[in-house]
Chains A and B, each alone.
Chain A
Amino acid sequence: MIVTAIQFLKPDPSILNRRDDILSSLRAVLPDEAVVSDPVELRAFETDGFTAYRRLPLAVVLPSTTQEVAAVMEALSRQKVPVVPRGAGTSLCGGAIPQEDAVIVSLTRMSRILELDYPNRLARVEAGVTNLSISEAVSADGFFYAPDPSSQLACTIGGNIAMNSGGAHCLKYGVTTNNLLGVTMVLYDGTIIRLGEGELDAAGLDLLGLICGSEGQLGLVTEAIVRLIAKPAGAQPVLFGFSSSEKAGDCVADIIGAGIIPVAIEFMDREAIAICEAFAKAGYPLDAEALLIVEVEGSDKEMADQLGRIVEIARRHDVQTIKESQSATEAALIWKGRKSAFGATGRVADYICMDGTVPLSQLAFVLKETGAIVKRYGLRAANVFHAGDGNMHPLILYDVNDPAEREKAEQAGNDILRLCVDAGGCLTGEHGVGIEKRDLMTHQYNETDLDQMIDVRAAFDPVWILNPSKVFPLEGRGESDGGRAVAGTSDATMEAAQ
């Protein structure tokens, strides 16, 4: 028996039995080709970026308008059918993994940019627009959309809002919630609400702040108004190699303490350096225990000035290697290694990527403990993360075809996340809870804290049909989710049944 296996809600047999009725109710409100029910085609939707777990959904719908989404939600809530919203399916925490009795609402067809308003520096887009395509659409006019998750080529803005995605440059520009001005959202029963007209703060309670990061549990965002920012005159990274993580960590603290706010400070440990260098040939120092990539922005003179100050601080911390990029090509190469870290690691081994965030003062300690934990399980980890904001990303390497090793990797991951919480941090900085970290929520929050969130969730979705297996531990929901969680299914029981 796999003790760590994550449980899903038990499929409701009465929903499975009504499959044909449910499908025809969807076909009544959508064009036929927008309703997917063929098991072969459904395969494409059985998992997301958290590939260790998969479930076939009951059906997938591909609406093209907010009105279609509303009609779908009206039909499904009437029949109390669970709904799993999906953008590009790049979630790293299983946020978009379906369940057998759920309909996936995929928003990828809603991918139009509706309005570019440069004088007011905003873009109104449909939820299925990819993150990068917004920046691409406005780049020639001198603007960009700031949050830049590693998956930005594929991930959608709707998914970014669901997870409150960050990225390497959020040290200066903030995460999704700091760059969101408005949404159009379909509630569980098909009601359409609009928040914000493009002004800086929407009226009333800060529902935008509540919705951002709610992991598809409060409603389906179909449109968003996002902030555009003028592109900096230039950007330049510098790369530092250190003989220890502590020295690198102290250097980060001193850079920030000196009043310099770089746009990004990225950290890699020895394992990550080796993996990324083998893949990207970026010229990373293989003899370093820790590497920092610090990026500054501004005019040539401003960048030279800031880099001068930063290099001086690094020297005070015995920096071993300094690589300043002399050209755009060199700058791109420095970033290439970092940006391809997850992909490059995937070539070496299977991995699970943790996302705990810790106070800056705890970075070196948590790194050391992380190493000790994975060692205890007989595993290896590569550490790549956003050091400026304490968002750690240990990649725990394992063999997916070895069930015992997968179990160890999950347990090591859970231990690391508990460590992050105990160090004054949190379970997840930008990936979300999903199913992956759901059962650890009680480590960070007590029952009252969780109940308050659950009550707010119920204000949006009283029948608990929106992405119901996620975020909140199945135990402790009581009757708040209609008793659905009382009997869950684990992979072990599912595999036994198959």
Chain B
Amino acid sequence: MIPSDGTDQLIEPFDEAELAEIVRDAADNGRPLEIAGGGTRSFGRPVDALATVSTSGISGIVAYSPNEMVAAVRAGTPVSELQAALDDANQRFVFEPIDHRSLLGTEGEPTVGGMVAVNASGPRRFVAGACRDSLLGVRFVNGKGEIVKNGGRVMKNVTGLDLVKPMAGSFGTLGVLTEVTLKVQPKPETEATLIVRGLLDADAVAVLAHAMATPNDVTGAAHLPELVAGKVLDGALGSEQATLMRLEGFESSVNERAEKLKALFGKLGEIDQIDAPQSRRLWAQIRDVAPFADHPDRPVWRLSMRPSDAHEAVMALRMKAGASAFYDWQGGLAWVRMEGGNTMSGLVRKTVEANGGGHATLIRATESERRFAVPFQPQEKPLAILEYRIRKAFDPQGILNPGRMVA
């Protein structure tokens, strides 16, 4: 094991060709490389490499045409720079990328490449897709130091194998992204969020499922259990459970749908409605897991399950280990903080398995915990073998972020 200490070498290529040369050289010498964007998303297993390659020098918006709703961007471009360009054209990423800084206590500037590499997605993911669903094309340097392109800049493309999707969420283990092309969308005119109070988890998830079974186009469906509710909007919601439904669109349409949902759920008591500025802040906090930003020493898990299953798993974890949780994606995404301070990875995985299956990822933990607790869900053997072969097809020597996803 190579300790990661101050002797790490930081390499900052200024373009794709130089990066390719660096990777080729590393491949020739069998020397592992850690791949970094802004360094703000420090989850997964620690990488054992003496050299870190940063893509931050490979930066800049290559082409952004609001009329086509497509942006091609170099990987090292700060997310904030692209965001500013989108704001100018009144557009947005539909997948609401999570900013991990407050949860992980990291500093620096998230890059577009890092956002894609971790498939960073937010509350709208459950209706509008993840980052991978908005990703139209990639350029990357594979583990042999070759420059590869896949996909393109058009909305529909089935020409050959889709390597675009697996690049999203591969944490730099298949290739080093150098340029990505993303679909963007006009911002809606306005938004509002309805809040139902006092529901237990199971009832809240049932209410959200009911809302999603109606044609009211709910684009955010979250539930904050007791106490967690007090951690958003500076405590403005109070600590009572809050079940949240977001509506977006033209104002008249938002109002119409809000009235319909209020009528539908009126028997559950008074339903509050918060307006656009507050609603935007609220969903940004849910996106960034703000309720668990405090107590940074306590591990945080991300459970992805069927919406009606996750709360059962959470209930079991609360009883057995002392955990806090809140839900996004109609209940299918549970953020779970282990209040006892231990990761309890065996228990977490067993509990997910026993409650309908899905997967659990350890997002926040100390470096040594991330090394030994297996942050990503272990695969069954046939799948693990297949994944191994696929990794070899991109990076035969295993020099790119070795160990980040699989030890």
B153 surroundings in chain A (CB, below 8 A)? 359, 424
B6 lies within 8 A of chain A by Cβ: no
Question: Whose C-beta in chain A lies nearest to the C-beta of B218?
Answer: A230
Distance from B160 Cβ to chain A, minimum over Cβ atoms (Å): 5
B70 surroundings in chain A (CB, below 8 A)? 359
Q: Provide the bound-state CA to CA distance between A429 and B153, in Å.
A: 12
Contact check: which of A192, A207, A391 meets B155 at CB < 8 Å? A391
B residues 99-125 touching A (CB-CB < 8 Å):
119, 125
Determine if B67 and A257 form an interchain contact, defined as CB atoms under 8 angstroms apart. Answer: yes
Q: Provide the bound-state CA to CA distance between A40 and B364, in Å.
A: 63
Interface string of B151-178 (1 = CB under 8 A from A): 0111111111111111011100010000
B188 surroundings in chain A (CB, below 8 A)? 259
Question: Whose C-beta in chain B lies nearest to the C-beta of A309?
Answer: B250
Question: Whose C-beta in chain B lies nearest to the C-beta of A171?
Answer: B155
Determine if B212 and A456 form an interchain contact, defined as CB atoms under 8 angstroms apart. Answer: no
Determine if A199 and B306 form an interchain contact, defined as CB atoms under 8 angstroms apart. Answer: yes
Determine if A207 and B387 form an interchain contact, defined as CB atoms under 8 angstroms apart. Answer: yes
B186 surroundings in chain A (CB, below 8 A)? 256-259, 261
Determine if A177 and B382 form an interchain contact, defined as CB atoms under 8 angstroms apart. Answer: no
Interface string of A362-399 (1 = CB under 8 A from B): 00000000000000000000000010111100000000
B133 lies within 8 A of chain A by Cβ: yes
Q: Provide the bound-state CA to CA distance between A192 and B252, in Å.
A: 51
Known contacts A257-B66, A452-B142, A456-B394; is-contact A425 B152 (Cβ 8 Å): yes
A194 surroundings in chain B (CB, below 8 A)? 380, 383
Determine if A459 and B390 form an interchain contact, defined as CB atoms under 8 angstroms apart. Answer: yes
A299 surroundings in chain B (CB, below 8 A)? 215, 253, 256-257
Interface string of B334-358 (1 = CB under 8 A from A): 0000000000000000000000111
B90 lies within 8 A of chain A by Cβ: yes
A202 lies within 8 A of chain B by Cβ: yes
Distance from A461 Cβ to chain B, minimum over Cβ atoms (Å): 10
B305 lies within 8 A of chain A by Cβ: yes
Q: Provide the bound-state CA to CA distance between A163 and B162, in Å.
A: 11
Among the 9-residue stretches A30-38, A112-120, A331-339, the one with 4 or more Cβ atoms under 8 Å from chain B is: A112-120
Question: Whose C-beta in chain A lies nearest to the C-beta of B149?
Answer: A449
A232 surroundings in chain B (CB, below 8 A)? 215
B392 lies within 8 A of chain A by Cβ: yes
Interface string of A189-223 (1 = CB under 8 A from B): 00111110111111111111110111001000000
A286 lies within 8 A of chain B by Cβ: no
Determine if A445 and B149 form an interchain contact, defined as CB atoms under 8 angstroms apart. Answer: yes
Known contacts A199-B304, A210-B161, A453-B160; is-contact A389 B154 (Cβ 8 Å): yes
Determine if A301 and B256 form an interchain contact, defined as CB atoms under 8 angstroms apart. Answer: yes
Distance from A218 Cβ to chain B, minimum over Cβ atoms (Å): 8
Question: Whose C-beta in chain A lies nearest to the C-beta of B136?
Answer: A426
Interface string of A32-50 (1 = CB under 8 A from B): 0000000000000000000
Q: Provide the bound-state CA to CA distance between A410 and B168, in Å.
A: 36
Determine if A191 and B213 form an interchain contact, defined as CB atoms under 8 angstroms apart. Answer: no
Determine if A200 and B125 form an interchain contact, defined as CB atoms under 8 angstroms apart. Answer: yes
B50 surroundings in chain A (CB, below 8 A)? none
Determine if B149 and A305 form an interchain contact, defined as CB atoms under 8 angstroms apart. Answer: no
Determine if A253 and B215 form an interchain contact, defined as CB atoms under 8 angstroms apart. Answer: no
Determine if B160 and A471 form an interchain contact, defined as CB atoms under 8 angstroms apart. Answer: yes
Contact check: which of B68, B329, B387 meets A200 at CB < 8 Å? B329
A142 lies within 8 A of chain B by Cβ: yes
Q: Provide the bound-state CA to CA distance between A365 and B170, in Å.
A: 38
Determine if A177 and B165 form an interchain contact, defined as CB atoms under 8 angstroms apart. Answer: yes
Interface string of A330-359 (1 = CB under 8 A from B): 000000000000000000000000000111
Interface string of B242-286 (1 = CB under 8 A from A): 000000001011001100000000000000000000000000000
Contact check: which of A210, A231, A424, A448 meets B163 at CB < 8 Å? A210
B290 lies within 8 A of chain A by Cβ: no
Determine if A207 and B386 form an interchain contact, defined as CB atoms under 8 angstroms apart. Answer: yes
Known contacts A120-B307, A390-B156, A448-B146; is-contact A210 B393 (Cβ 8 Å): no
Determine if B379 and A175 form an interchain contact, defined as CB atoms under 8 angstroms apart. Answer: no
Determine if A360 and B160 form an interchain contact, defined as CB atoms under 8 angstroms apart. Answer: no
Determine if A305 and B252 form an interchain contact, defined as CB atoms under 8 angstroms apart. Answer: yes
Distance from A41 Cβ to chain B, minimum over Cβ atoms (Å): 31
B195 lies within 8 A of chain A by Cβ: no
Question: Whose C-beta in chain A lies nearest to the C-beta of B252?
Answer: A305
Q: Provide the bound-state CA to CA distance between A332 and B164, in Å.
A: 37
Determine if A459 and B162 form an interchain contact, defined as CB atoms under 8 angstroms apart. Answer: no
Chain B interface (Cβ < 8 Å from any Cβ of A): 65-70, 90, 119, 125-126, 129-130, 132-133, 142, 146-150, 152-166, 168-170, 174, 185-189, 206, 209, 212-215, 217, 250, 252-253, 256-257, 304-308, 329, 332-333, 356-359, 361, 376-377, 379-380, 382-383, 386-387, 389-394, 405
11 contacts between A and B (CB under 8 A): A143-B213, A199-B332, A200-B333, A209-B162, A210-B162, A214-B162, A256-B69, A299-B257, A359-B70, A449-B149, A458-B393
The 7 closest A-B pairs by CB, nearest first: A209-B165, A259-B186, A429-B156, A203-B359, A197-B357, A389-B155, A459-B389
Besides A200-B333, A457-B161, 14 new A-B residue pairs in contact (Cβ under 8 A), listed by A number: A142-B214, A143-B213, A163-B158, A187-B386, A199-B304, A204-B379, A230-B213, A261-B186, A305-B252, A359-B68, A361-B65, A424-B153, A456-B163, A471-B161
